[in-house]
Structure 1
Amino acid sequence: MNTMMENQAGYDTPSPRRLLQRRLARHWKEQWGIIRTAADWTVFLYLIIPGALLGGRYYYGFWNEPLPKWTMLLPYALLPALLALLMQGGILLLLHEGDLLFLRQRKEWLRTVIRGGIEYSLAVTALKITAGFLILLPFLVRAYGLSGADTGALLALSLCCGTCVKLLAHMVRVQKQGWRRWLWMLLASWLPCGLFIRAAAAWSVHPALLLLAAAGYAVVAAAALRARLRLHGTFLGDVREDFKQRMKIAGLLLRGVIDKPRPTRHKPWIFRKSRPLLRSVTPESRLADASIKAFVRNPGHFKLYLQFTGVGAIAILIVPGMLKWAVCIVLVLLMASWLVSYWKVFSSEEFIALLPFAKERKADAGSRAVPILLLPFSLLCSAAAAIPLYGWWGLAVFIPAGAVIGIMAARVFTAFRLAR
């Protein structure tokens, strides 16, 4: 009721600019209210203030003290990649559901609100990119030797690219759905960010080329803004995306409390025909087969597996020399431990308990399922270690090495942790 009264009062404003100001004020009030539900003034007092002081001390040290040795090992392209992460996200248009009835006939009012929301969102993005750039600035200057002109041109390129990516990605989100959205996002977001990282790394000491690339992004951003203001027939998509942006902070705060509901599917994405994966028809093989399919079909487990695989591969690529193999073995052991824990949870489920399986048979099934799940991770980690060390010979080394490491790690953990 209060929200309806506020909406009705909002449409009584004398001008579109006043309506825009009210919507911005209400948005800030909503976001602050969401934050206050999770943190009060004591949290700000005891966490944020000491954290800011500690961060300021570290930042001062980065400028005036010797840089940590690990900063010399980082590739320069990693810093533009961090800036590219800050360019992601949506645009808040400050539209409400009631606008479909009250503002659709007032084209100028609707245009003013949309333009104001876009300008506000782009300003917030520019502030985020600038803040991230300032944090990375001591590393750019002291570790990589960039001059004032180089850093200024890189900042200009980052701001123009961020504006371009925001607008292009927003137009895809409000017009496309399903797999078409992800396909168009490759062109709207990932491709511009990839070109930005490439240009920033290749022309780091050529400010004129960086400014030329920034001008190109600015031209595309201007064309995208003009197309967005002329876009028609996307009101429902605009409102849907606006709701997602308004609830983003609430979603972050509730991520660890409430599970995200999953859509009901009549058929899974993977293993749609449910054919057996293992040739053997023994009960142990059937149970191992079911556990593998359940793992891959579970979005939470499969996503965590892919995330750990990506982070592990990057960690192996970063460390120097023969430490790559040591890190590879440690990561495979960690993954094997997690997969054995998954198997123990799976084998203790109620529907599994109904089956007449003894402990020995369950342990045998786990001993077959865990190595199969572990093998892709082990092979990828082995490739990340072998190929940088041995070049072309690494292509012949990583498969047998990864298989041996994975099988041995799986046998060790299944032998000690699965009850027989």
Structure 2
Amino acid sequence: MSNLDETRRGYDIRTPGSLLRRRLGHHWKEQWGIIRTAADWTVFLYILIPGGLLGGRFYYGFWNEPLPAWVTLLPYAVLPALLAFLMQGGILLLLHEGDLLFLRQRKNWIRTVMLGGILYSLLVTALKITAGFLLLLPFLVRGYGLSGMGAGALLVLSLCCGTCVKLLAHNVKVQKQGWRRWLWMLLAAWLPSGLYIRAAVAWSAHPALLLLAAAVYAAVAAAGLRSRLALRGTFLGDVREDFKQRMKIAGLLLRGVIDKPRPTRHKPWIFRKSRPLLRPSSPESRLAGASIKAFIRNPGHLKLYLQFSGVGAVAVLIVPGMLKWAICVVLVFLMASWLVSYWKVFAGDEFIALLPFSKDRKADAGSLAVPILLLPFSILCAAVVSMPLYGWWGLAVFIPAGAAIGIMAARVFTAFRLAR
């Protein structure tokens, strides 16, 4: 419901509190409508109810049966780190774009709506932290011997830290952009979260110290709230962050369906100067260098490359003995096949088609670009194989072995799949 809709309904919103209640109701209805687009009552009936019963059975077992063996292998810091993860996120101010015209002069109304949205967001965060804490409580008490007073103090510390992190991070998001935002986020969110984990670990046996740290976080949170309400000139940033929070559920549901739009950049983040990447600067080398730059500058391609590298390294690491080399070769050949497919798409682009390159020259450029892109992955896989098998001798083996496997795989696929 927009501000224009509210105006057309006969000015029946007479107080700031009624506007706040209407905005909250509209927000809940909007979020429920988004969820209903992806799930109906059959999902709740056939998935959530059995899942809840199964989860309840496991939770009962964690309290009354022997804990799994892996619990003793986890360091205690992992549990506060999970709670710190729940503290991240944004704040919903319940502001609309039309408020700049309709409510801008009514500062008391704007302040009431903003304060209500902030308190609502902090309440949601507190509920998330409490739910996560209750799920981890059997491991804290039975696995690590945390006392009842210690558990209560840790919960209070978690709630105060979550409030502090939310407010400080929100103040940064509505005021800063670009690299300055990330720099300030180190101080506003990551540093308090790290100190929280440190305090939870160091003072787990001292509830009084945990409560003292909670009081410090609460004081900083109060200062952050006062600073937020006193901010001026951040309306556009407030609306932008508010829209991100309202669309968060929709973004999660559509993440695998719609590609995230790429931000417009005046300069690329890497290879900012248009110098030739490869030597000598022959036409084939220039085209190969352009394809390498395009691959690295594309977030989707680079992310998929890094994800496959991580999964491939883990796959090689967990298989036994000499079977590691076989898995390494298979993964390198799979990566080579994908990179050749990327090259064919790049060479077939309409902009590349405008250049006077013959099929032979394009194939030569591809034969030069694919091995360069493949070598980091093949050397990584060879390192994961060589170090566990040969120890220190693996340092002398993995680079030549990885380079040989990568060049061989690249030559095989470029010879058969690139038209000449």
> By the TM > 0.5 criterion, same fold?
yes
Residues in 2 aligned to 1:311 and 1:147: alpha-carbon distance in whole angstroms: 39
- What's 2:399 paired with? 403
- What's 1:168 paired with? 168
Cα distance change, pair 95–347 in 1 and its aligned pair in 2 (3 A): same
Matched, 1:224 2:224: yes
Matched, 1:28 2:31: no
Matched, 1:99 2:99: yes
Residues in 1 aligned to 2:40 and 2:186: alpha-carbon distance in whole angstroms: 40
Point out where structure 2 has 5 or more consecutive residues left out of the alignment. none
- Whether the 8 Å CA contact 2:336–2:410 is kept in 1: the answer is no
1:63 to partner: Cα distance? 2.2
Q: Which amino acid aligns with 1:369?
A: I
Residues in 2 aligned to 1:214 and 1:185: alpha-carbon distance in whole angstroms: 21
Matched, 1:368 2:371: yes
Residues in 2 aligned to 1:336 and 1:285: alpha-carbon distance in whole angstroms: 24
Cα distance change, pair 165–405 in 1 and its aligned pair in 2 (3 A): farther
- What's 2:264 paired with? 264
Q: Which amino acid aligns with 1:56?
A: G
Residues in 1 aligned to 2:214 and 2:11: alpha-carbon distance in whole angstroms: 40
Q: Which moved more, 1:70-79 or 1:246-255?
A: 70-79
Identity of aligned residues (%): 65
- Whether the 8 Å CA contact 2:329–2:405 is kept in 1: the answer is yes
Cα distance change, pair 231–327 in 1 and its aligned pair in 2 (3 A): farther
Matched, 1:345 2:348: no
Residues in 2 aligned to 1:46 and 1:311: alpha-carbon distance in whole angstroms: 32
CA RMSD between the two structures: 3.6
Matched, 1:197 2:193: no
- Whether the 8 Å CA contact 2:336–2:413 is kept in 1: the answer is no
- What's 2:244 paired with? 244
- What's 1:183 paired with? 183
TM-score (norm 1): 0.83
- Whether the 8 Å CA contact 2:146–2:205 is kept in 1: the answer is yes
Residues in 2 aligned to 1:362 and 1:207: alpha-carbon distance in whole angstroms: 66
- Number of residue pairs matched by the alignment: 408
Q: Which moved more, 1:204-213 or 1:89-98?
A: 204-213
Cα distance change, pair 3–104 in 1 and its aligned pair in 2 (3 A): closer
- What's 2:47 paired with? 47
For residues 191-340 of structure 1, what are the structure 2 equivalents within 5 Å?
191-281=191-281, 285-286=285-286, 288-306=288-306, 334=331, 337-338=334-335, 340=337
Give the secondary structure class of the aligned counterpart of 1:290: helix
Q: Which amino acid aligns with 1:365?
A: L
Q: For residues 293-317 of structure 1, what are the alpha-carbon distances to aligned partners after superposition, in whole Å with 9 as ceiling and x for unaligned?
A: 222101122234456667889x79x
Give the secondary structure class of the aligned counterpart of 1:175: coil
- Whether the 8 Å CA contact 2:332–2:378 is kept in 1: the answer is no
1:258 to partner: Cα distance? 1.4
- Whether the 8 Å CA contact 1:169–1:188 is kept in 2: the answer is yes
Q: For residues 240-262 of structure 1, what are the alpha-carbon distances to aligned partners after superposition, in whole Å with 9 as ceiling and x for unaligned?
A: 11111111111111111111221
Cα distance change, pair 140–4 in 1 and its aligned pair in 2 (3 A): same
Matched, 1:356 2:352: no
Q: Which moved more, 1:409-418 or 1:75-84?
A: 409-418
Q: Which amino acid aligns with 1:178?
A: G
Point out where structure 1 has 5 or more consecutive residues left out of the alignment. none
Q: Which amino acid aligns with 1:374?
A: F
